[in-house]
Chains A and B, each alone.
Chain A
Amino acid sequence: MTTLLEVRDLKMYYETMKGDVKAVDNVSFSLEAGESLGLAGESGCGKTSVALALMKLQPSNAKVLGGSIKLEDMDVLALDDDAIRREVRWKRISMVPQAAMNALNPVFTVKDQIIEAILTHENVSEKEAEERTVELLKRVGIDPSRAGNYPHEFSGGMKQRAMIAMALACNPEIVIADEPTTALDVIVQAQVLKVIKTLQRELGLSMILISHDLSVVAETCDRTIIMYAGNVVENTATLEIFRHPLHPYSIGLIGAFPKLTGERKRLESITGNPPNLLDPPPGCRFHPRCPHAKEVCTRLTPPLTETHESHWVACHMVNGQQEYR
């Protein structure tokens, strides 16, 4: 497989009145062509910030302090606003935003909004754009006869499907879906996830799916990255992370989900709260909540290390000692 996107040591802080919020700190990962990658973690762990940075959509108080984002040979961070708008957004990387249901403009029909996206970015006739729109809506399971409807005439699931169709409008190589099913009921969620999975397979898309819900990632992604407090703590194949999680945070997170089948056991919770990123703990950011923390964890930031083949973990204990693996 070829590497499509490579993020190295990305560091992005938000400037606030109280100081810098260290939202993304030394985040590295890569995305292969055709791969679906899950970015999981709790709210405030930095997963959305990473996604925004990939398209240079971060808010104005964000500052990128280091690292690189390479889209094949292109240095994304070095592009100016105009170039990234022309060359990257929609055409190479597109995004299904969080709360996509509210991302549609209520005073235009769904069809017109997708056509607009195509015409803005590509030099095609209106007729072609319209044909493509109808095709896209069919793909996501919306009857083309509904294309002329306004967003309020769509149900939540249909709006989400329309947003997915729009993200595909300019044939991007990478689609970032930020919590694409969070606002949806469970049955509609299952239907939308199915659409996403089918499209990803049929079109050979590379995808980054962001979710706080590990089960959504488990069902949709080949590879999973777990983030905690602005850091990547574990990165490996999805099967592996559920069968054999190594980082104490990943273990705790997976253990915190009640099961739908099998024996009912008391859930173990992770003690404490995630840190305030204005002033994160020194060393490993998880150490105040970690059951295995040692002195070294309070001092040194553990590097993301390949402990097994294609299984990366950032933990002094797991990295250094066999019995934790």
Chain B
Amino acid sequence: MTSMTEALVKVDGLVKHFPVTQSLLDQLLNRDVTMVKAVDGVSFTIKEGEIFGLVGESGCGKTTTGRAVLRLIEPTGGTVLYGDVDLTALKAREVKEYRKDIQIIFQDPFESLNPKMTIYELVAEPLEIHSLGVDDEERRTMVSQALEEVQLIPPDEFLYRYPHELSGGQRQRVAIARALILRPRFVVADEPVSMLDVSIRTEVLNLMLDLKEKLGLTIMFITHDLAIARYMSDDIGVMYLGKLIEYGGTHEVLDDPDHPYTQALMAAVPVPDAERKRGDLPIRGETPQPINVPPGCRFHPRCPYAFERCMEEEPQLMEVEPGHGAACFLHEDFHTGRIKRGKLPESQDVA
């Protein structure tokens, strides 16, 4: 298993800007088009056979990143290396070839499955698109196998049913079967359990972990839920306002976060433990719009530790230990403990 630690996906400087719709007056006066900087230069590496968790609050650009990596939307800039191939340089026709290898599981199984198609048709559709399976019989066998893999057992009972006859958890399993029937190497899972109830959610998460082992999948797991990210991921990247602000091994990032935003996120998560008492939140205000990104460090208006430099200069990701980086001028101070995490500077009454 030497290949396990090799990079399968390398994202470098990924950018996606969306133009804001202009009014007629703006157009007539030839005003500059305002841009929403949804993803503003994001770089990370996903190792083969591992789960990379991309976390952040709504609007931070994690979903856009996931889609731009797959070229479901066209990136404005940057490269996405899949093995040796730059996906961003492929022609539309060539992308289709790679779709077999690279799949996505969407957030909402109520919307991602066509209500007028049977489960068989839904799961067999990718086979048809890619002309796999010689005849109906072979396809049926493949579909049955795929359903068995996602624990929809016995498959015969599900083949001719429609999505509305299934529960939320079962529907998401169908979505997973659809993604995996082509035997992809790399899967982007975009909030795959956020629509599911707790007791159902766990089964789907465990199923994904099992399938990852069994099929040797590499997964980019997008979630807003830090506890789920921790449960699923080998490595983690934290996004804020279109930028990756911290990355590293799950334990390094979540147990000893070196960026004040990651620290604030961790402090804000409610835990099912009535004995834990919450301290003050080391953050103030709410996330600004990605149309109006603050100068310097984009987190500085909310950061209790911000000083002059943060307002002028944008910190780049800096390595604090091998494989763990944070985009904060104070990362070393947090890492060495010179500044205690969660201990607020004097006169900083926040939250």
**A: which residues have CB within 8 A of B?**
42-43, 155-157, 185-191, 193-194, 212-216, 218-219, 238-239, 241-243, 252-254, 256-261, 264, 266-271, 273-274
Instruction: Return chain A residues, CB-CB under 8 Å to B58.
Output: 185
CB distance from B164 to the nearest CB of A (A): 13
Contact of B137 with A by CB under 8 A:
no
List 6 A-B pairs, Cβ < 8 Å: A42-B198, A155-B286, A187-B57, A219-B271, A261-B255, A273-B170
CB of A186 within 8 A of CB of B202, answer no
Contact of A264 among B199, B200, B231, B276 (CB under 8 A): B231
Inside 8 A of B167's CB, which chain A residues have their CB? 273
Question: Do B270 and A213 touch across chains, with their CB atoms under 8 A apart?
Answer: yes
Q: A269 contacts B268, CB within 8 Å?
A: no
Enumerate chain B residues within 8 angstroms of A259, measured Cβ to Cβ. Answer: 227, 230, 271
B156 within 8 A of A: no
Q: Complex: how many Å from CA A274 to CA B268? A: 30
Residue of B nearest to A181 (CB): B270
Q: 10 more A-B contacts (CB under 8 A) besides A190-B351, A215-B270, A219-B278?
A: A185-B57, A186-B224, A187-B283, A190-B269, A218-B273, A238-B274, A242-B274, A260-B254, A270-B202, A274-B197
Of residues 75 to 123 in B, which have CB atoms within 8 Å of A's CB atoms?
Answer: none
The answer to whether A260 and B199 touch (CB under 8 A), given A185-B224, A191-B351, is no
Complex-state Cα separation, A279 to B275, whole angstroms: 39
Are A212 and B206 also in contact (CB < 8 A) when A187-B57, A187-B265 are? no
Q: Check if B268 sits within 8 Å of A258, measured CB to CB.
A: no
Establish whether residues A257 and B268, one from each chain, have CB atoms under 8 Å apart when the complex forms. no
- Determine whether the beta carbon of A260 is less than 8 Å from that of B206: no
Whether B274 pairs with A239 at a CB distance below 8 angstroms is: yes
Does B274 lie within 8 Å of A218, measured CB to CB? yes
User: From residue B325, how far is it (CB to closest CB) to chain A in Å?
Assistant: 22
Residues of A within 8 Å of B274, CB to CB, are 218-219, 238-239, 241-243
B281 at the interface (CB under 8 A from A): yes
A194 and B202 contacting across the interface, CB-CB below 8 Å: no
User: Is there contact, CB below 8 Å, between B272 and A215?
Assistant: yes
- Asked if B228 CB lies within 8 Å of chain A CBs, one says yes
**Chain A residue with the shortest CB-CB distance to B229:** A258
Tell me the residues in window 199-258 of chain B with beta carbons closer than 8 Å to chain A beta carbons. 199-203, 205-206, 209, 224, 226-228, 230-231, 254-255
Given contacts A42-B199, A239-B275, A257-B227, contact A187 B268 (CB under 8 A): yes
Given contact pairs A42-B197, A186-B224, A189-B268, A269 touches B231 in the complex (Cβ within 8 A): no
- Report the separation of the CA atoms of residues A278 and B232 in the bound assembly, to the nearest whole angstrom: 36
Q: Is the CB of A269 within 8 A of B199?
A: yes
**Distance in Å: Cβ of B28 to nearest Cβ of chain A:** 26
A146 to chain B, nearest CB (A): 13
Contact B265 A268 (CB under 8 A): no
Is B339 an interface residue, CB under 8 A from the partner?
no
Complex Cα distance, B271 from A269, in Å, reads 18
| B residues with CB within 8 A of A | 57-58, 167, 169-170, 197-203, 205-206, 209, 224, 226-228, 230-231, 254-255, 264-276, 278, 281, 283, 286-287, 351
Chain B residues with CB under 8 A of A214: 198, 272
- B199, B270, B276: the one within 8 Å of A193 (CB): B270
Residues of A within 8 A of B199 (CB): 42, 252-253, 256, 269-270, 274
Are B286 and A256 interface neighbours, CB within 8 A? no
A-B Cβ contacts below 8 A, count: 122
Partner of B169, one of A43, A190, A268, A273: A273
Contacts of B230 in A (CB 8 A): 258-260, 264
Question: In the bound complex, do residue A253 and residue B227 qualify as a contact, i.e. CB atoms below 8 Å apart?
Answer: no
Please give, as numbers and ranges, the residues of chain B lying within 8 Å of A270 by CB-CB distance: 199, 202
- A238 proximity list for chain B (CB < 8 A): 274
Residues of B near A269 (CB, < 8 A) are: 199-200, 202-203, 206
Select the residue from A42, A186, A252, A264 with max chain B CB neighbours within 10 A.
A186
Which B residues lie within 8 Å of A188 (CB)?
Answer: 286
Partner of A190, one of B198, B255, B278: B278
A261 to B270, CA, bound (A): 12
Given the known interface contacts A186-B57, A269-B203, the answer about A258 and B231 at a Cβ–Cβ threshold of 8 Å is yes
Give every chain A residue within 8 A of B286 (Cβ-Cβ): 155-157, 187-188
Q: Would you call A218 and B197 a contact (CB within 8 A)?
A: no
A-B interface, 7 closest residue pairs, ranked by CB to CB distance from nearest? A269-B202, A258-B231, A190-B268, A215-B270, A185-B57, A42-B197, A270-B199
Of the candidates B227, B254, B281, B287, the one whose C-beta lies within 8 Å of that of A191 is: B281
Known contacts A267-B205, A267-B231, A273-B169; A256/B268 CB under 8 A: no
Known: A42-B199, A186-B265, A212-B198. A257 touches B272 (CB 8 A): yes
**Option from B200, B227, B351 in Cβ contact (under 8 Å) with A260:** B227
List B contacts of A274 (CB < 8 A).
197, 199
Determine whether the beta carbon of B281 is less than 8 Å from that of A190.
Answer: yes
In the bound complex, how far is the Cα of B245 from the Cα of A75, in angstroms? Answer: 57
Among A157, A216, A266, max chain B CB count under 10 A is at A266
Task: Report chain A residues within 8 Å CB of B287.
Answer: 185
Known: A256-B201, A267-B202. A215 touches B224 (CB 8 A): no
Tell me the complex Cα distance, A132–B209, Å: 54
Of the residues B201, B270, B272, B351, contact of A189 by C-beta under 8 Å = B270
Q: Are A256 and B273 in contact (CB under 8 A)?
A: no
CB distance from A41 to the nearest CB of B (A): 9
CB A285 to nearest CB in B, in angstroms, measures 14
Neighbouring A residues of B269 by C-beta, 8 Å? 186, 190, 215, 260
- Contacts A194-B351, A268-B202, A273-B200: A258 and B270 contacting too (C-beta < 8 A)? no
Contact B281 A218 (CB under 8 A): no
